[in-house]
Amino acid sequence: MAEILDGKKIAGDMRALIRGETQALALRGVRPGLAVILVGEDPASVSYVSAKEKALAEAGMFSLDRRLPESAREDELVRLVEECNADPRIDGILVQLPLPKHIDEQRVLLRVDPSKDADGFHPFNLGKLMLGQDAFYPCTPYGILKMLACAGVRARGKHVVIVGRSATVGKPLANLLLNRGEGADATVTVCHSATADLAFHTRQADILIAAAGRAGLITPPMVKPGAVVIDVGVNRIPDVSKKKGFRLQGDTDFEGLLPVAAKISPVPGGVGPMTIAMLLHNTLKAAKARAERENQKETGV
């Protein structure tokens, strides 16, 4: 029976360390701050933003909550991002995605100061990631690497198969795993909607990461016995027995994979909490850089 990877527990341990570092930084007069920008009232986005703001408060970080209506113009959002860029209290900026269809996401994300890119989606940071350089890494891929490391899973020399090629998960995760160093050095295959015979590829995986956004896509015959399975999918399935009328399901047949996989992450309670933990990590990292700059100004170094 597979070991269930408790993302909530792993993330909780990380958040405790982050809270301690945040308190130490506050003693130096620097309180990490994150601007959270939400456009519209998409229920999933509102839920995610609420969870992130709660985590910020628990960590002792400053949170600037800025919300715009669904009808907001693209220029309004760009101006708001630029205000946050100029705000000395703000170390990180999170623009909650997806944005309404009339807004060009890439134009907005390009206006975020790369040094405040807490989500790790700016091309500057993605480019440094691809080159194997230190940067702000996208939170979900970075959280997956941390989850594997905390679970004692070494990617070095392993065949990792990623199902999904999104710019937010699949592509940056593939690059992180290909890079040299701790938690990486893997051989990576990326599958997608045009992949012929998906099961042929998934059955070869030592580590299988499902990030396609299709509920129950990965079934037991598609998984090599003893593989590690990370489920990134968060799909809302109608369920009249639930108060909200839906239940969350990942991209895998979780129950069916329990007798097959060696380790598996659940949905919910797996990758989701890790994503929030890495958002706090990136915000703290940006605040440390601010503290260092302020110290250099004071000392004249």
Full 3-state SS string of 62-77: EEEEEEECCCCCHHHH
Based on the fold, state whether residues 204 and 143 are members of the same structural domain: yes
Tell me the average pLDDT of the chain.
94
pLDDT of residue 141: 97
In this prediction, residues 54-79 reach a mean pLDDT of 95
Distances (CA, A) of 30 to 61, 75, 111, 150: 10, 31, 25, 29
Q: Does the pLDDT at position 242 exceed 90? A: no
Co-location of 109 and 157 in the same domain: no
Per-residue pLDDT at 260 = 98
Residue 248 counted as domain residue: yes
Which residues are designated catalytic? 52, 96, 119
Of 65, 98, 114, which residue is a domain's last?
Answer: 114
Q: Report angle CA 214, 217, 223 to the nearest 5 degrees.
A: 145
If asked whether residues 69 and 169 sit together in one domain, one would say: no
Q: Residue 53: how many CB atoms within 10 A of its CB? A: 18
Say if residue 155 is in the same domain as residue 260: yes
Peptide bond into 268 cis (omega under 30): yes
Q: What are φ and ψ of residue 171, in 5° steps?
A: -65, -50
Supply the range of the domain harboring residue 47.
31-114
Residue 64, pLDDT above cutoff 90: yes
Residue 168 has pLDDT above 90, yes or no: yes
Task: Say if 59 falls within a structural domain.
Answer: yes
130 domain residue, yes or no = no
Q: Reduce the DSSP state of residue 98 to 3 states and report it.
A: coil
Residue 90: partners with Cβ closer than 8 Å, 6 or more residues away: 33, 34, 35, 64, 84, 116
Please report which confidence band the pLDDT of residue 57 belongs to, taking 50, 70 and 90 as the band edges: very high
pLDDT tops 70 at residue 93: yes
In a domain, 298, yes or no: no
42 and 107 fall within a common domain = yes
Q: Identify whether residues 71 and 185 lie together within a single domain.
A: no
In a domain, 171, yes or no: yes
What pLDDT does 120 receive?
A: 96
Domain co-membership, 54 together with 153: no
Whether 13 is in a domain gets the answer no
pLDDT at position 248 over 90: no
- In this predicted model, what pLDDT tens digit does every residue of 110-152 receive, in sequence order? 999 999 999 999 999 999 999 999 999 999 999 999 999 999 9
pLDDT at residue 299 tops 90? no
pTM of the model: 0.94
CATH of the domain at 93: 3.40.50.10860
Q: Looking at the structure, do residues 144 and 267 belong to the same domain, yes or no?
A: yes
Please tell me the predicted confidence (pLDDT) of residue 177.
98
pLDDT, residue 185, reads: 97
* Residue 287 pLDDT exceeds 90: yes
Three-class DSSP category at 160: strand
In terms of domains, do 103 and 206 share one?
A: no
Does the pLDDT value for residue 58 go beyond 70?
yes
Cα–Cα dist 2/290, whole Å: 43
pLDDT tens-place string over residues 209-237 = 999 999 999 999 999 999 999 999 998 88
Q: 247 pLDDT band (50/70/90 cuts)? A: confident
- Both 41 and 162 in one domain: the answer is no
155 and 196 part of one domain: yes
Residue where a domain stops, chosen among 60, 79, 114: 114
Number of domains in the chain: 2
301 assigned to some structural domain: no
**Could you tell me if 173 and 244 lie in one domain?**
yes
pLDDT band at 301, cuts 50/70/90? low
Residues 6+ apart with CB under 8 A from 152: none
CA-to-CA dists, residue 52 to 4, 62, 84, 90, 195, angstroms: 24, 12, 18, 15, 35
Closest CA to 33 of 295, 283, 289, 282: 283
pLDDT band for position 246 (cuts 50, 70, 90): confident
pLDDT exceeds 90 at position 62: yes
Q: Residue 262 falls within a domain, yes or no?
A: yes
Alpha carbons 85 and 63: distance in angstroms, whole number = 14
> What pLDDT shows up at residue 238?
84
